[in-house]
Amino acid sequence: MTVRDLYVELDSRRVFVDSKEAYLTAKEFDLLELLMKTPGKVYSREKLLDTVWGFDYPGDVRTVDVHVRRLREKIEKNPSAPEYIFTKWGVGYYFG
């Protein structure tokens, strides 16, 4: 999957930004893959926890925020002004 400067190899679970590999954790990759496969769809933190972490995950919804922040730091040129993963304030996150 390719969007602008972001290239994701689903089979090998590798991610490249501007032809440089970005090393993601398993959960970061799962999160990115889900968002990329449904561009524009907004996911609540709870839905992301259920989908990416599984129904029995005992963690806090802020876990999602931490993973999104780390993912942005790895794939965005300027994480404060994202080009790929956006926040819909009060609702959740989406890929744009």
Contact (CB, 8 A) for 76 and 82: yes
- Please report the pLDDT score of residue 88 as a whole number: 97
Classify domain 25-95 at the CATH topology level: Arc Repressor Mutant, subunit A (1.10.10)
- Please report the pLDDT score of residue 57 as a whole number: 65
- Please report the pLDDT score of residue 27 as a whole number: 96
Give the residue extent of every domain in the chain: 25-95
CA dist., res. 53 & res. 50, Å (int) = 6
Query: In this predicted model, which residue has the larger pLDDT, 54 or 57?
Result: 54
Q: Average pLDDT in the 45-55 region?
A: 89
Provide the token pair at 40: 């524009």
Residue 60: pLDDT band with limits 50, 70, 90? confident
